[in-house]
Each structure stands twice: as C-alpha cells, then as structure tokens.
Structure 1
Amino acid sequence: METNRTLGRSGIRVSALGFGCWAIGGEWQDTDGQPLGWGKVDDEESVRAIRRALDLGVTFFDTADTYGAGHSERVLGRALGKRRDEVVIATKWGNLFDEDTRTRTGSDDSPQYVRRALTASLRRLDTDHVDLYQLHISDADPERAAELREPCEELVGEGLIRAYAWSTDDPARAAVFAEGEHCTAVQHALNVFQPAPDMLALCDELDLASVNRSPLAMGLLSGKHRSGQALEAGDIRSRPPAWLPGFTENGGADEDWVARVDALRDVLTSDGRTPAQGALAWIWACSPRTVPIPGFRSVTQAEQNATALEKGPLTPAQLAEVDTILGR
C-alpha cells in the first residue's frame, strides 16, 4: 500500500493514517454536565506519543478548537514545536466554549465567526496557518453553511488556511461545501460497523478525501472492551449521547457489539495484525481516498496505530468475509 496519499483535489500530501487528537484534550463537558472527553490524560505522555508518531511516519494530525476546550490544540502545538512544517494540521470550528470551565456553551455558524475562531486556533496551535479547516457542526443548515464558503476562500487567499472541509455524515451537506474551489475533503464516521458507501461514492465523484473519524468504533474494535465493564466517569462513553452507538446507559460496551467484534476477530487479526490494525486495514481496503484518524492517549497506542501502515489493507476476499460475518 502507498503509505502517503493526496488530500482530494488540494495536492496536499499526508500519511495514509492520521492521528485524531480528541482524546488528548482531556476532560470537558456540556452545560448539562454531559462528559465530552475521554477521561483524564497525561499531557507529557500525549506529547511523547505525538512525537513518536512523527518518527514513525505519521504526518496528519486532526484536532478541533473545542476538544478539551482548547487544550488539545495547545498540546498538539507544543508537541510539534519546530517540526510543524513536517506535518499537516487539521482543526475545526463552529462550537463555542469556555476554556476556564472546560465547557461547551453553544455553536456559531455565522460567516463572521470563522475568522475569529481561526485566529484563536492559530494562537493555541502556535502556527501561522492551518492546512485543513473544517466546519464542526455536522447538522448545520445547508443554506447557511453555503455562506461559509466565501470566508473560507478568503482565508485561503490570505494563506491562513490551505483548504477546508465539513465534518458531517450527510453526503448532501458535504456536496454543498464541495462547490467551493478549495474544499478538498469531508470528515465522516467510517468503521467496520458503520460503512458509508454513499459518502465514499461522493468523494470519488467530486475528488474529495475521506477523513475517517471513529475508525475503531470509539475503541470497541480494539477488542479490549467487554460488556458490563464500567468506564471512568469523565469518559463520554460512560454516559453515551444518542449519537454514540455501541455503549449502554450503564456505561459499558453493548453486548451485541462486543459479540460482533469477537466474531470478526479472526479476519481482523489476519497476517499478524492486532484487532485495531485490522479495523484500520478494512478502511484502507474500502477506498484509496480514506485517511482514518484513530485516537490515542499513550505512546503504546501511537506505536500500534502507526505500525498498521506496514500491514496495508485487507484483501477483497477478506472484505467480503467481513460482510458475510456481519450479514451484509
């Protein structure tokens, strides 16, 4: 497998595997106390993990201004330091938050907010530009979102961003942004349990990169979660919101999802892979446009994810086997 690929029509080259920086933001919450992070983190371990990923060939890092209420961007910026020019940074805007209380307080999809949000992100990331700037309101009104293309194009013209995208699971919404000259990607959920054939078809049609969040189904495809096993209180999976499948209200993995992971174990661990590496290999087999962005909180996770590149994609026969096991 080619270990690097181009982000859609932008000409920007990235590693075929990115790293998602949601988890390293640490704990944060919604105004009702709903946890939005993945629990406590060790910032020094996060920095070491990012630098280890760089050494292993990972050049694409995806974050958002709201992850940890700004904390993820700060940690990523510090970790990259003088190596900033070796990587492609993607971040997102659209959510409002209070850094002091680490609380998401609302959203703003106005054209006027785009520049203010970017200015703050550049400061936290300690950089003079963002490579891929993404709208983070997945269900924003398409007509209002269309008005955001113009300010994004202005930011491209000024050299403050290189390209932009929408983080949404709706192909129709993704197509709205794709009308912009420098829109080059869509970020959407994609994993063994959540295939996205319509979105991948749109990416082919419009020459967009497919940036894949939740490639390990929020950790379930690592094979380490068992049903009934409680998660720490600050972890979003301990009180899963309606949009987060695979976990129960009691804060553990859903037994049906765990059973499906177990059923897939043999095919995912083929050729010496770990279950997580097999899940990433499934995504690469779906399309040469895919760039999965698994999360991480430790050097060990970073190493395991990065070395999946060496194994490459599953074979067509293995893809078919997955479909058979899941009854698709």
Structure 2
Amino acid sequence: MTKASIHRFSNRLHQKLGLGTWQLGGPNIVQGKAMGWGEISEEESLAILSAALETGIQFIDTADSYGKGLSEIIVGKALRELSYPQDIIVCTKFGNVYLSDGTTGQDFSPEHLFASVKASLQRLQREHIDVLLLHSPPDNFDWANYDRAPFEDLVSQGLIRQYGVSSKSVYGAKRVMDAGFGSVIEVIYNALDRRVDEILSSHPHQAAYDIIGRVPLGSGFLSDRLLTEDPQFGEDDYRSHMADRDKNWMVENARKLVFLADLPGGLSANALRFTLQNPIISVVIPGARSVAQVQSNVLAANLPALSEAYIHHIEQSVPSVPDWWKPSK
C-alpha cells in the first residue's frame, strides 16, 4: 500500500494536529476496573468535537472499544450534525473484545475483522473508514503468519483506505515495520518517551509508513497543574490503577521539564509542540475532556517550533525511559 490519506498533512504544526477520542467513551468499567477517563456528558463530547472541527482539525482517532462503541457513536453523530462527513479523516481500531463472562480479550481473525468494520461503519455513519488499525496486539504478534489479504479485500471494496497497527509499545511497532504490514503505525511519542527516535526513525521501512503520535501529553502527566500538585484520579479514571512506580516516574520526570512552563502556553503546550515538530510523525492525537483543552492544543500547534537548544535541554533532562519499560534481554 502507498500513503494515500494521512500523508496529505504537511509539516506545518497546526496541520498535524488531530484529536483523540478515548476520553469521549466515558468510564467504561470492566469487572470493576475503569478502562476509560471518567464521566463525560454527550453534550460536552459534542462540544469538544465541534470546537476541534471548527478550528480546522481534520483527523479524528477513535476505537470500537472506547466506551464499548460509544466514542464511535459520538464521533458519527458530530460529523453528521456538523456536516463534516467528507473532509475529515477518521481512524478507528478493532480487536479488543468484551467476552460473555465480563472479561476482555483480543480477536484479530478475518471473521471478527469484517464484523468489526461493518459495526464501526454503522456507528460512525460513514461509507468507509479512512484508517483501520489493529488495537494493541501483543508486541510479539506473529506477523509472518498473519494474513493481510482480508485487509486488502476491504481496501478493494472501498470499505477502508489504509490499515496498520496501533502498537502496544515502540518495540511492537518495530516488528510491524520489520514485517512490512500495512502503511500506518500509531505509537507513543512524547517529551518523556522518545524511543521512536531511537528505534523507528532510522528503520529501512520508515518512509513507507504514516506514523500517528499517540499519548503526546504523557497521559496527562505533562501538565502545568502537576508541576506543583500530586496527581489525583477518580476511580472511574484508568490512571487510578496505574502502578505507583509508573506514576511516580512520570511525575518526577515531568517536573524536570519545568523550564518549558516558562514559554508561551506553558508545559503542556510546549510538550505538545515537541511531538508535533518531529518530521517523521504524520499526525498527533492529543485527547481532550473539555473545549478549553482543545483550545490549548490548538494554541500549541500554532506556536513556532521549539529551538534546538530547548530540544537538547529536554533530552538532557530526561535521557531515557525507566528500565522496566524496556524489554528484558
């Protein structure tokens, strides 16, 4: 496959800004554990999407598991009511399933693929999906024996335009590139986790992929508020279940970037533009739980690029991710 959809975005920062909609799926409680970001009303969700579209954002990222389909429904309703059905690139994901016993699992079979595409198209109220991604398959997924023909069949039918993988980690993303599967990779990239630069930027297949930068604000830890306050997450927010050592590392290292808070827009805006200005990233998808957060993201995208001196300062302040995030040798 060739780059056909996402790659029409240029390297101007404001045109690389998209919107992630995991937050719009609500708490999504599974076996008593939050899989979402907490309560949000449909009215607020539609206002967020409206604000994003009105500012020129053209890329919307969602998934069939966000709120068990609720996020896709909200996106579809917003695009219909706001009359933006053709100009927007919609990326969705499949493979995470809710089992009859209340647990979750994964299914990337052709049968589930076709059923998922049909269901997502109905929820999104669209005739095609611009980008379809496998949703967080294991990093050691067996790409050598995974049949890509069903995806090409969906492309030939006009039901999807591009396909690829939303990777669990950058190491899984590298294996996708190694296998040459699809043409899109969604991967974590932010000022605290820059492993994309180390592992993907020099990959021989990198130019064949559109790369979507996810978690650009470090799951909300790259926040001006957390420079002085300890994080407090409600029980319906998935971050309340994060391991303490992960939360502590995120807070401690985000605070090492306090010098970005002195720049226009503050820490969050400048952390976001750090991700936006990476030349191998095609589009960046910060989430938003309010219109104000959308406006902050747009502000960041309209700021000039950070200087090389600030990039160097970021790299020196947080040299690497913790060892327990890296694969064991």
Q: In structure 2, what residue type is equivalent to 1:122?
A: L
Q: In structure 2, what residue type is equivalent to 1:292?
A: V
Q: Given that residues 223 and 267 in structure 2 are in contact (C-alpha distance below 8 angstroms), is that contact kept between their aligned partners in structure 1?
A: yes
Match of 2:166 in 1: 167
Q: In structure 1, what residue type is equivalent to 2:59?
A: F
Matched, 1:209 2:210: yes
Match of 2:98 in 1: 97
Q: Given that residues 177 and 206 in structure 2 are in contact (C-alpha distance below 8 angstroms), is that contact kept between their aligned partners in structure 1?
A: no
The range that moved more, 274-283 or 65-74, is 274-283
Q: In structure 2, what residue type is equivalent to 1:92?
A: K
Matched, 1:303 2:304: no
Match of 1:231 in 2: 233
Match of 1:25 in 2: 25
Distance 2:162 2:65 in 1: 20
Q: TM-score, normalised by structure 2?
A: 0.85
Distance 1:143 1:213 in 2: 23
Match of 2:255 in 1: 262
**Aligned length, in residue pairs:** 306
Q: Given that residues 222 and 276 in structure 1 are in contact (C-alpha distance below 8 angstroms), is that contact kept between their aligned partners in structure 2?
A: yes
CA displacement 1:15-40 (0-9 Å, x = unmatched): 3011110011001133x422110011
Matched, 1:273 2:265: yes
Q: Secondary structure at the match of 1:163?
A: strand
CA displacement 1:61-115 (0-9 Å, x = unmatched): 100000001000001111111211121000000011379x9x6632112122111
Query: By how many angstroms is 1:203 displaced?
Result: 8.0
Query: By how many angstroms is 1:289 displaced?
Result: 2.7
Q: Secondary structure at the match of 2:98?
A: strand
CA displacement 1:272-304 (0-9 Å, x = unmatched): 122111111111333243422111111111111
Q: Given that residues 19 and 61 in structure 2 are in contact (C-alpha distance below 8 angstroms), is that contact kept between their aligned partners in structure 1?
A: yes
Distance 1:259 1:142 in 2: 33
Q: Which runs of 5+ in 2 are unaligned?
A: 10-14, 321-329
Q: Given that residues 188 and 214 in structure 2 are in contact (C-alpha distance below 8 angstroms), is that contact kept between their aligned partners in structure 1?
A: yes
Q: In structure 1, what residue type is equivalent to 2:125?
A: D
Matched, 1:192 2:191: yes
Q: Secondary structure at the match of 1:287?
A: coil
CA displacement 1:213-236 (0-9 Å, x = unmatched): 111010010222366443111000
Counterpart among 264, 283, 301 of residue 275 in structure 2 = 283
Distance 1:144 1:246 in 2: 30
Change (3 A) 1:297 1:273: same
Q: Given that residues 215 and 280 in structure 1 are in contact (C-alpha distance below 8 angstroms), is that contact kept between their aligned partners in structure 2?
A: yes
Q: In structure 2, what residue type is equivalent to 1:129?
A: H
Q: In structure 1, what residue type is equivalent to 2:173?
A: P
Distance 1:304 1:193 in 2: 20
CA displacement 1:174-214 (0-9 Å, x = unmatched): 225634xxx22100111111112212333863421221111
Q: Quote the sequence identity (%).
A: 29
The range that moved more, 12-21 or 79-88, is 12-21
Q: TM-score, normalised by structure 1?
A: 0.85
Q: Secondary structure at the match of 1:92?
A: strand
Distance 2:262 2:163 in 1: 35
Q: Given that residues 19 and 60 in structure 1 are in contact (C-alpha distance below 8 angstroms), is that contact kept between their aligned partners in structure 2?
A: yes
Match of 2:65 in 1: 66
Query: By how many angstroms is 1:326 displaced?
Result: 2.0
CA displacement 1:98-151 (0-9 Å, x = unmatched): 79x9x6632112122111111000111111111000000331653357534211
Distance 1:9 1:105 in 2: 33
Change (3 A) 1:104 1:218: farther
Distance 1:165 1:146 in 2: 16
Q: Given that residues 130 and 162 in structure 1 are in contact (C-alpha distance below 8 angstroms), is that contact kept between their aligned partners in structure 2?
A: yes
Q: Which runs of 5+ in 1 are unaligned?
A: 1-6, 248-253
Q: Given that residues 10 and 184 in structure 1 are in contact (C-alpha distance below 8 angstroms), is that contact kept between their aligned partners in structure 2?
A: no
Q: In structure 1, what residue type is equivalent to 2:317?
A: I
Q: In structure 2, what residue type is equivalent to 1:262?
A: R
Distance 1:191 1:262 in 2: 14
Match of 1:324 in 2: 316
RMSD: 2.6
Distance 1:211 1:74 in 2: 22
Matched, 1:292 2:284: yes
